Amino acid sequence: MKINARFRLQVLVQNSLFVVLLIAIAASILYLTRDVKTQWDLTQGKRNTLSQASLDVLDEVSGPITITAFATTRDDPEGNLRQMIQEFIAPYQRANENVSLAFVDPREDPGRATKAGVRVDGELVVEVNDRRENLSTLTEQELTNLLVRLMRSSEQLIVALDGHGEGRLNKPANFDLGDIGARLEAQGFRTGSVNFAVAQDVPDNASVLVIASPRVDLLAGEVNRIKRYLEKGGNLLWLVDYESLRGMEPLADFLGLDLIDGVVIDPAAGSQRLPPTISLAYAYAEHIITNRMNATNTVYPFARRIAANEDTDTSFHFTPLVEVARDGWLETSGMMNAELNRDSDVPGPITVGAALERDVGDGKQRIVVIGSGRGLTNEYVGMLGNMDLGINIMNWLAGEDSLIIIQPKSRFDLALDLSRGALTAISFGFLIFLPVGFVVAGGLIWWKRRKS
């Protein structure tokens, strides 16, 4: 083929046109995708992606979220501190464009750091709706809980009945509620107790009263004080034991409840290597407390049935929250029998939790009754989704409907643990087999070319 000036010009024009078209296509793609924000998180625990709970909280925040990081510019053994903070806040900024981050070097502006109450290098000052709080632990759960606290319109008080062996919100024993109490305080609630031997009535500023499975009978006068609290529209969480109501039968009548004696037997618990006296949630009601519990199981040790008394005229609207033991029953004989007695037992599914609501004045009165006094105790609240359910109940009772969330999940892929055999295989693979493979492949290619 003869190459002349005309051919060279033709090739030059074709190549130039190809380059121009390629640049035009690339520019068009960039222009069309300038507002598209798509990412893929391939880590096992999705540690670069916020949990749905955090995303829900960010959706509820109205107005800007201002974050000021008081961090020096020096590097520490774990890496650049400012870069670590930037990477930590980046998912929040992607989820909510109103999240802003600014850095201040506390060495260059010590007065501002002192005024902000900063104590450690890398501490954050988060401000929402003219309310601010400091954060020194950079985890999603801590920051999301901080945002929840800042969003609360006011600090709310939750009090637990005391003096009868009830579970307490600030104690660590197995039968206490200290774990859930600590989580509530982390989310901006204030917890306390009320003992009728000292106090005449439930405090007027209490948002919720908790009665957590008394172990001795209440006096008639104490029950009347609780009834007065309910008559005035007070909110209540009542954790009922399966053995006895401890003198609180008048409360059940006032609420229009039929609390049949007996313990739930759930054969399905065996699949989780649990005894049949621990019931597993079978179904949740369409209720704001449980709408997000569909993918999370919960357990109810030694549960009893919670039902509405059809013969009682009450103004409360009864909603069954949780059903358990689809293939089980309510054992009413007092014996832990292995089979259903259709003459005396109640076949499943059994309702073990209910929400009651009614209009009182200009507001709503809310009550939750759980037929498992142990389900929210320190012994069992860490199992499956019990903590999530407990926090959702408390938020609903306190009127914080918009903050009913599933707690952010912890990340579990922060370290790569390999066995000795896996480490040996990787070492031999990269240091011996891979280089030898390249040498052999190169030799074969050289020999093939030489032969041809």
Domain spans, the chain:
52-150, 153-403
pLDDT digits (tens, 9 = 90+) for 9-56: 888 888 899 999 999 999 988 888 776 666 666 665 566 788 887 888
Helix, strand, or coil (residue 324): strand
Q: How much is the pLDDT for 49?
A: 80
Query: The pTM is what?
Result: 0.71
Q: How much is the pLDDT for 243?
A: 82
Flag whether pLDDT at 273 surpasses 80: yes
282's enclosing H/E stretch is strand 278-284
Residue 449 burial by Cβ neighbours in a 10 Å radius (0-12, 13-18, 19+): exposed
For helices 52-60 and 81-95, angle between their N-to-C axes, nearest 10 degrees: 70
Residue with tokens 């369409």: 286
Residues whose CB falls within 8 Å of the CB of residue 219, separated by 6 or more in sequence, listed in order:
196, 247
Flag whether pLDDT at 339 surpasses 60: yes
- In this chain, the answer to whether the domains covering 52-150 and 153-403 adopt an identical fold is no
Q: Which of 82-91, 125-134, 408-417 has the lowest mean pLDDT?
A: 408-417
| Statement: 153-403 belongs to CATH 1.20.1420.20 | no
Q: Which of 210-214, 219-223, 301-305, 422-426 has the lowest mean pLDDT?
A: 422-426
For residues 354 and 309, give the distance between their C-alpha atoms in angstroms, rounded to a whole number: 13
Q: How much is the pLDDT for 325?
A: 92
For residues 184 and 237, give the distance between their C-alpha atoms in angstroms, rounded to a whole number: 14
Q: What share of the chain is helix, strand, coil (3-state, %, to 5)?
A: 35, 20, 45
Residue 360, number of CB atoms within 10 A of its CB: 15
Mean local confidence (pLDDT), 120-134: 90
Q: Give whichever of 14-18, 143-147, 259-263, 300-304 has the largest mean pLDDT.
A: 300-304
Q: State the pairing for strand pair 257-258/307-308.
A: antiparallel
Q: State the pairing for strand pair 99-104/65-70.
A: parallel
Q: How much is the pLDDT for 101?
A: 95
**Arithmetic mean of pLDDT over the chain:** 87
Q: State the pairing for strand pair 190-195/157-162.
A: parallel
pLDDT digits (tens, 9 = 90+) for 376-434: 999 999 998 899 899 999 999 998 887 676 555 555 455 566 778 888 888 888 888 88
Could you tell me the fold of the domain covering 52-150?
A: Glutaredoxin (3.40.30)
For residues 176 and 168, give the distance between their C-alpha atoms in angstroms, rounded to a whole number: 5
Residue 390 burial by Cβ neighbours in a 10 Å radius (0-12, 13-18, 19+): buried
Q: How much is the pLDDT for 411?
A: 52
Q: How much is the pLDDT for 306?
A: 96
CA distances from 106 to 71, 84, 101, 116, 333 (A): 7, 17, 16, 10, 69
